[in-house]
Structure 1
């Protein structure tokens, strides 16, 4: 069962999503070192969980394999839950994901999350290079069922994979006469639509809504999830999370400038251009058309930005509207220092500590 840690005076649990945004002028090695430092900081300051997302062929996001970073972070942190938010399951073979997260769970029992999404995490050409089949999204529920079968070693008797164990996992513990562990990785359903809300409710799993991707109908999705939720052996009542872009800074004007760096990256992604996260000065100097400027302004405003108090007010308003159990900060900005400062300032504002 999910048991969130108190987040100081915050009325909800607080977590961090790090997309390993890579600013122009920074190497991937520098970014990975900073991801490790940010995970340590979030752990020390009492955040609930630290997730990373799967992206491919995007110079502005340096983690194509979150599970590799989770393996490193297991030894760098003590308390915080670590996970993928998420693994784009149609890009993978379910057995291999079950094996990988079985290993992670054995390394850090009770601290591993596996968030599952169905988007490719990239563009069409890269999806084809990943050998992603046309229409793979349609098979997403069946892929989840297969993954859960491997994780629990509980395929039906007549299932073709009945005798295929995911190791490490329950089968190995049974064979070795090891008492059954209660620390399986928590499986989350990720999404930004009512489709994912229905699926999470049917499976009786926690639900994470990615609000950073756009102005999707989160209120309707949360209503559907709660009204249709079926209690399961893993979760007896609905548990939901919303992730949202955030920049907190002592200077609210600087917070807005940093928010615009991610907005320009979104514009370039829409235009099918490669991108890194440009510094604020280059964003301000960018010669945008009227339509491009509208997109930049729109995505700048979708990020909750300002002083710690202003960002906290925005998070609390979002919580009041959605009634989620947890809010996940999608850290934004050109430099990793800016992203770390967001995590620090909000922890200070809510008097958070491990």
Structure 2
């Protein structure tokens, strides 16, 4: 069986390549259309040799449809055969660790050896929605390390003696179920990643000996520093003997530079709305073209456009290569963005073509 964490580099890519998806739901589009696009994207990633497909957890955002990564991933287990499937990530403070362990135990049973679990500590939404999700005010980001450890014990069936859950509470499916049902033979441990856009999660991942994913689509300037901190403080574990890190960011590749900029502009406009405390809506390029920005709005939009590598495939991969050189990332994860499903699929395909990645239709 291939390494459950380390990806394989294909073609001329500088590192293993993976795909991040939010099932973007542009204005005038339905969630059904967006999720059908996600199925198509996973099939494409499977065919072209991308290492993994991850989807992230967001709530109360009309522009995305990934409120439940586990539900989408369960469908994708039947749509793919080689691709690793995972969450990038589950916002752990929103959920009891036992629930997450059981959901991803089920996914691992549906697609043995192909499931990843990425964990984040942000709410994935606004404060009011986070309060509605959590109900328990004590369950927040500050409790994240304890929640991670509890989840790891559920996944490993290894609570220490004397713990209230030891030999009494366990995740099903999971190793405890196999043990109690007298199932013999090796069982691979579900890979757990920590996600972040600062040094906090980098240090926690290093201390626990877990792989680390840096969200450069939120904070591209600090990627190299966070990965350096992760490597410097890494402690070998039963999961990893040496550090392994990926960097994820949003991109738009198109046959036409102007079209790439217009698609990237839809994301920049959605981010502007969030800064203005409005709902996250993904307008069409035509709606963006018709909008008149004031000076401050223009600065915000231009700043976000600078966060999104966009242009021809050659221009985008030149940026990806530079990110990999600067950060030393073991893996790059790309989230193609835009108002239409077709634009996102085309962007991903063009990047695979530009790197000379194989096309395996079988």
Distance 1:134 1:165 in 2: 25
| SS of alignment partner, residue 57 of structure 2 | coil
CA contact (8 A) 1:153 1:171 kept: yes
Question: Given the alignment of the two structures, is residue 123 of structure 1 paired with residue 126 of structure 2, yes or no?
Answer: yes
Alignment of 1:213-228 (within 5 A): 213-228=218-233
Question: Given the alignment of the two structures, is residue 89 of structure 1 paired with residue 95 of structure 2, yes or no?
Answer: no
- Of 107, 110, 115, the residue aligned with 1:107 is 110
Task: Identify the residue that residue 329 of structure 1 maps to in structure 2.
Answer: 334
- Of 211, 214, 235, the residue aligned with 1:209 is 214
CA shift, 1:345, in A, is 0.4
Distance 1:352 1:132 in 2: 46
Question: Given the alignment of the two structures, is residue 195 of structure 1 paired with residue 193 of structure 2, yes or no?
Answer: no
CA contact (8 A) 2:6 2:244 kept: no
CA shift, 1:180, in A, is 4.2
CA contact (8 A) 1:174 1:180 kept: no
CA shift, 1:344, in A, is 0.4
CA contact (8 A) 2:217 2:307 kept: yes
CA shift, 1:270, in A, is 1.6
TM value normalised by structure 1: 0.98
Q: Cα deviations across residues 271-291 of structure 1 (Å, max 9, x unaligned)? A: 121242111121121122211
Where does structure 2 lack aligned partners over 5 or more consecutive residues?
none
- Of 155, 158, 162, the residue aligned with 1:154 is 158
| SS of alignment partner, residue 217 of structure 2 | helix
- Of 38, 41, 44, the residue aligned with 1:41 is 44
Distance 1:95 1:334 in 2: 36
- Of 59, 66, 70, the residue aligned with 1:56 is 59
Q: Cα deviations across residues 281-333 of structure 1 (Å, max 9, x unaligned)? A: 21121122211111011101210011111101000000000000010001111
Question: Given the alignment of the two structures, is residue 23 of structure 1 paired with residue 26 of structure 2, yes or no?
Answer: yes
- Of 221, 235, 240, the residue aligned with 2:245 is 240
Question: Given the alignment of the two structures, is residue 296 of structure 1 paired with residue 301 of structure 2, yes or no?
Answer: yes
Question: Given the alignment of the two structures, is residue 173 of structure 1 paired with residue 178 of structure 2, yes or no?
Answer: yes
Question: Given the alignment of the two structures, is residue 71 of structure 1 paired with residue 74 of structure 2, yes or no?
Answer: yes
Task: Identify the residue that residue 354 of structure 2 maps to in structure 1.
Answer: 349
Distance 1:328 1:212 in 2: 10
Larger mean CA deviation between 208-217 and 318-327 belongs to 208-217
Task: Identify the residue that residue 147 of structure 2 maps to in structure 1.
Answer: 143
CA contact (8 A) 2:95 2:134 kept: no
CA contact (8 A) 1:90 1:132 kept: no
CA shift, 1:216, in A, is 4.5
Task: Pick closer, same or farther for the CA change 1:41–1:119 going to 2, 3 Å.
Answer: same
Q: Cα deviations across residues 58-101 of structure 1 (Å, max 9, x unaligned)? A: 00011100010000000000100001100000000000100111
| SS of alignment partner, residue 300 of structure 1 | helix
Question: Given the alignment of the two structures, is residue 3 of structure 1 paired with residue 6 of structure 2, yes or no?
Answer: yes
TM value normalised by structure 2: 0.95
The RMSD of aligned alpha carbons is: 1.2
Task: Pick closer, same or farther for the CA change 1:98–1:144 going to 2, 3 Å.
Answer: same
Alignment of 1:261-340 (within 5 A): 261-340=266-345
Where does structure 1 lack aligned partners over 5 or more consecutive residues?
none
Distance 2:59 2:188 in 1: 30
Runs of 4+ aligned structure 1 residues displaced above 6 Å come to none
Distance 1:90 1:181 in 2: 31
Distance 1:214 1:18 in 2: 18
CA contact (8 A) 2:224 2:327 kept: yes
| SS of alignment partner, residue 130 of structure 1 | helix
Q: Cα deviations across residues 99-141 of structure 1 (Å, max 9, x unaligned)? A: 1111111111110010000000000110111125446111100
